Amino acid sequence: MANIKALVVDDSKIMRSAVKRALNQLMIADFEYVEAKDGEDALSKFNEEIEIMFVDWNMPNMTGVEFSQAVRAEGNEHIPIIMVTAEKSMGKVDKALNEGGANEYITKPFTADKMHKAISDYFDDDGNIATEGEDEEEDKSFFQGILNS
């Protein structure tokens, strides 16, 4: 399995542990975790090695949506952002996905199964992050192969 560096952002240590435990149970990759207690802390710990992020919404100093917007504003469109939050109204979901640039939305409390459904599309069979660019390249190669045959 591939080694994946994941940023887990939540003001609750208990919830950060719950996210890590659920991810470990999935066994889709060997996760190495960087933890942050709010959006500001997450921004200070964010770097180019981070491959996927699990972000709470309601946190002091900087919310998860504000953090996601800041990350996207720096051009990191390829990194999957999974919003893991207690906020459940459709307006909040819409805001996180459209204004915050999150890729997926998981409501608390969650199970490992719920986590798997949300994130499995972002991993290939080897446990690497399947980016859109890679998918497109694979698609292009596939079609190119048909054309050449």
Alpha carbon 53 to its chain centroid, in Å, reads 4
Of residues 3, 25, 58, 144, which one binds other proteins by CB under 8 A?
Answer: 58
Per-residue x/- mask for other proteins, residues 12 to 51, rule CB under 8 A?
xxxx-xx--x------------------------------
Of residues 19, 53, 59, 115, which one binds other proteins by CB under 8 A?
Answer: 59
Helix (H, G, I), strand (E, B) or coil at 121: helix
User: Cβ of residue 10: shortest distance to other proteins, in angstroms?
Assistant: 9
Helix (H, G, I), strand (E, B) or coil at 98: helix
Answer yes or no whether residue 7 interacts with other proteins by CB under 8 A: no
Of residues 53, 54, 85, 123, which one binds other proteins by CB under 8 A?
Answer: 85
User: Cβ of residue 125: shortest distance to other proteins, in angstroms?
Assistant: 30
Distances, alpha carbon 135 to alpha carbons 10, 62, 117, 131, in Å: 30, 33, 19, 6
Nearer Cβ to other proteins (91/145)? 91
In the chain, DSSP assigns E strands to 3-9, 30-36, 52-55, 81-85, 104-107
